[in-house]
Structure 1
Amino acid sequence: MIPTEAITSGTLNSLLFYFSVMGLLLVFATFLRLKIKVLKKYFIPASLLAGFIGLLLGPYGVKLFSEEMVNTWGALAGILISIVFAPMLMGMKNEKQSGTGKLVGRHLLYSYTGSLLQLSIPLIIASLILIPLFNLNEMFASIIEVGWAGGHGTAAGMIEVYNNLNWSDGASLGVTSATFGIVIGIISGIIMINHGVKKGYTSVIKKPEEMKNKDSDVIPLNNQKSSSVNTLNPDLVEGFAFHAGLISIAILLGWFMQQAIAVFVPGIPLFPMAMIGGYIINMIISRTKYFEMIDVNTMNRIQGIALDFLVLGAVASIQIPIVVEYALPLIILSGITLGMMIWYFYYLGRRFFPEDWFEHSIVHYGAYTGVTAIGLMLLRTVDPEMKTDSGKGFALRAPFYSPFLGGGLITAMVPVLMLSSSSLIVGISSLAILIVLLIIGKLLGLIQKPQEDKKDVPSSNRNVV
């Protein structure tokens, strides 16, 4: 039973006010992004910018916003992540894609490689060096895969996990790790693209001036298209309300599963369970004539709304003193991870993708340093018309990757496993699994000797932007 005495008009009015301020920050950040060219050049999302503004105006900045308000934003982020994950597997059709087996296999194995690298190497290094040197919590290194491959959404969702495991510092550190990752992903990704064009690594873009971002952030009226469709008569129910209802059922199913699992494995967060709940709904409704009532784009719009406010709240609620306390080991581990991801891109990318390796690899690099949107942004920079199969392969591998790593069930379970064993054991186990996967990939022909890059770009055109 819900304790109704705790839900007073005062708390609801406060929640409405706090959420309204978030909306104000998001709109203000949107206009900042429109007006400041450097923000557009480096693809800084308005939600991240709004979060930094909220952080600046919060209790660790100019103190315009109260600590209660900022903490409420952080709590909302932990709730919104379930709304982001619940519809992730809803609306999927069981359509067979001919001739895409190896393509999906390469992208899927490359995805698992990226996440397992971020689990194994940081955990091993932290366990052997950083944890004893700086007297850190056993779960410290888990923030890398949470923040980099998972992103702000996963970091916010893991707040519940870290709090349940008595390490509240992990909440701010996970979001900080995600912020490090997204900034590093954008800046290093643009540098790598410029370098790739100069060296002739890219398949589509052959001149630096071809990749300049000429698109306006404001879509002209004659180019505007519908982002979702009505699948139901509005006289029956508003389409967004119906889809929100399905998401609510998925979260409710996830909550029951969470309670059942907690008896055996305490600490499992709600958001991966909500995703499984959404999959159950999809399995049931896909067998009926009512499956056409689900519009994937409407689900995406609801996810997008939740994700924007989630990122804003998560970043604005970062506990600055905690970040300062962990600054040195966090910077060291982030630097090691960056070097590892560069090796992942240049060395492994050439071997996983015999054709168009740069385009196939850059979308993963952007996604596993920042978020999926950054990966797709970097891909669009080097392949604006999607002439390669990189976007297709990246999209088709998602149902087999996202539910488990990069913010999925395994990501959520790692801190629990670390406490039941140790960070070193989990790190070595992750590395062993990675090695086995690479051997299987080699045997299946998914990993090959790299081909020479076609350097057909005139030297006069090989200048960095």
Structure 2
Amino acid sequence: MFPTEKIQSSSMETILFYCAVLGILLFIGVVLRVKVKFFKKFFISASLIAGTLGLLLGQYGLGVLPAEMTESWGALPGALITVVFAPMLMGVSIPNPKKMGRLIVPHLLFGYMGECIQIALPFIITGLVLIPVWNVNEMFGSIVEIGWSGGHGTAGGMVDVYNRLDWSDGGPLGLTSATVGLLVGIIVGMVIINYGVRKGYTSVIKNVQELNVNQSEDILPRAKQPSGSAVTMNKDVVESLAFHGSLISIAILIGWVLQKLLGGLVPGLPLFPMAMVGGLVVQLVISKTKFAEAIDTGCLHRIQGLALEFLIMAAIASIKIPVVIEYAFPLSILMVVMTLVMVWYFFWAGPRLFGKDWFEHAIVNYGSLTGVTAVALMLLRTVDPEMKTEAGTGYALRAPFISPIIGGGLLTSILPVMAHNYGSLNVGVVFLILLFVLYILARRLGFWTRTT
């Protein structure tokens, strides 16, 4: 047992101690990720391993870690998600959609229509079936899009949002949904690929013997280690990392002001999407000054990455297992139904939106809709190892038009608020209508083609 009783729970020393334990778990997670083939094969990240280890050692497992520690970890994701989102629009150059329209638009349509399905159907099922039968919360349907497209980072960050909306069960369920989504992305994605190769849908890989998941080196040799960030400020002035941290701090402060101003109009509005807007304000202002040259997106990504790794660990390690067990039946219904629907959507929308090389374009988006970017790229590299198609380029170019809004963006963050204020069925119907509008738009613009 850790000697936490000798440390005052309110002291900074306690916080430092708890974070140190998280750091130890992360190191163990890294070692397991490198050494255990299973984790590497299924692209299980070190932070997910570390969080699961913390859960097993916590109050719902072996009881080695005290409840006070794991409960304190549960408060971290709500703060760390703000650090992840604040710099999202800093130093970003938006590609010209007119020049790349024929490549970007099908990816955008596939992504937005898929998101509408992930929002509309779970909310409608919740309103028509799960609430009458199991009396679940109106926000129950939000855990699919938050967990699947948003991933563990977004699900962990939404824990605080659910708590403030008086549904503390939402956090553990969202994280469970994210775990299921990751498995659906990897396992079902590989089943789809094997089926697609056998049916001749793929453009590059022509038989199953050619399938080979490209496993890159875990520990990069020094000769292959890329530069993670640039030093943009003279160290006599300030450490470059600290300078970028100050920009994130300004963005968070602006977001806090916006949250207070809009809180009356949108009750329960979370801080982290407003911090992202604050980051955009910082970008617009600083781009007019000489300090624009001092912004390095690589440095911002390092800060985001650090916050995200600890966010995922803390969120997983603090999952309340009894809550997941309590909701086992309604949760299983949503997970099974959405798995079947996402497979159907892949084969329905893929060939109609993308045409040439449709399988490669659709599989990378399927991976993003069910798991995380790493899963999306893993599936793409499996069917297009040398990136001979334009699927990877289209997927990358769509990111600035997708990430800030859905799949963990602004719209994702307010889904629980919308369900809380207007009811799950109403929210589901609105997004079903939006799905239909996007479908009509795709046909009118000539991006939806018939297949034989």
TM-score by length of 1: 0.92
Q: Distance in 1 between matches of 2:25 and 2:116?
A: 36
Which shows bigger deviation, 41-50 or 412-421? 412-421
Gap runs ≥5 in structure 1:
1-7, 452-465
Aligned to 1:368: 369
Residues 97, 167 of structure 1: CA spacing in aligned structure 2 closer, same or farther, 3 A cutoff?
A: closer
SS at match of 2:12: helix
Give the deviation of 1:371 after TM superposition: 1.6
1:306 equivalent to 2:303? Answer no
Letter in 1 for 2:176: T
Aligned to 1:202: 202
Question: Contact (CA 8 Å) 1:58, 1:66: kept in 2 or not?
Answer: yes
Residues 154, 9 of structure 1: CA spacing in aligned structure 2 closer, same or farther, 3 A cutoff?
A: closer
Q: Distance in 2 between matches of 1:10 and 1:72?
A: 10
Gap runs ≥5 in structure 2:
1-7
Aligned to 1:462: none
Q: Distance in 2 between matches of 1:181 and 1:9?
A: 36
Letter in 1 for 2:65: F
1:109 equivalent to 2:143? Answer no
Aligned to 2:405: 404
SS at match of 2:75: helix
Give the deviation of 1:10 after TM superposition: 5.3
Residues 144, 197 of structure 1: CA spacing in aligned structure 2 closer, same or farther, 3 A cutoff?
A: same
Aligned to 2:341: 340
Residues 385, 285 of structure 1: CA spacing in aligned structure 2 closer, same or farther, 3 A cutoff?
A: farther
Give the deviation of 1:95 after TM superposition: 5.2
Question: Contact (CA 8 Å) 2:213, 2:378: kept in 1 or not?
Answer: no
Give the deviation of 1:351 after TM superposition: 0.9
Question: Contact (CA 8 Å) 1:243, 1:294: kept in 2 or not?
Answer: yes
Question: Contact (CA 8 Å) 1:157, 1:269: kept in 2 or not?
Answer: no
Question: Contact (CA 8 Å) 2:213, 2:381: kept in 1 or not?
Answer: no
Give the deviation of 1:214 after TM superposition: 4.4
Give the aligned length.
444
Question: Contact (CA 8 Å) 1:205, 1:211: kept in 2 or not?
Answer: no
Letter in 1 for 2:247: L
Letter in 1 for 2:328: A
Which shows bigger deviation, 102-111 or 370-379? 370-379
Q: Distance in 2 between matches of 1:214 and 1:115?
A: 29
Question: Contact (CA 8 Å) 1:41, 1:213: kept in 2 or not?
Answer: no
Deviations 1:94-135 (A, max 9, x none): 554774112111111111111110110111112111111111
TM-score by length of 2: 0.94
Q: Distance in 2 between matches of 1:414 and 1:399?
A: 21
Aligned to 1:429: 430
Aligned to 2:143: 143
Q: Distance in 2 between matches of 1:311 and 1:205?
A: 35
Which shows bigger deviation, 329-338 or 347-356? 347-356
Letter in 2 for 1:158: M
1:164 equivalent to 2:161? Answer no
Aligned to 2:33: 33
SS at match of 1:211: coil
| Superposition pairs of residues 232-251 of structure 1, within 5 angstroms | 232-251=233-252
Question: Contact (CA 8 Å) 2:214, 2:381: kept in 1 or not?
Answer: no
Question: Contact (CA 8 Å) 1:156, 1:314: kept in 2 or not?
Answer: yes
Letter in 2 for 1:379: L
Give the deviation of 1:370 after TM superposition: 1.2
Letter in 2 for 1:196: G
C-alpha RMSD of the superposition? 1.7
Which shows bigger deviation, 8-17 or 148-157? 8-17
Aligned sequence identity (%) = 53
Aligned to 1:316: 317
1:120 equivalent to 2:120? Answer yes
Deviations 1:208-256 (A, max 9, x none): 3452334221112222221211122222211111111111111111111
Aligned to 1:134: 134
Letter in 1 for 2:134: F
Give the deviation of 1:302 after TM superposition: 1.3
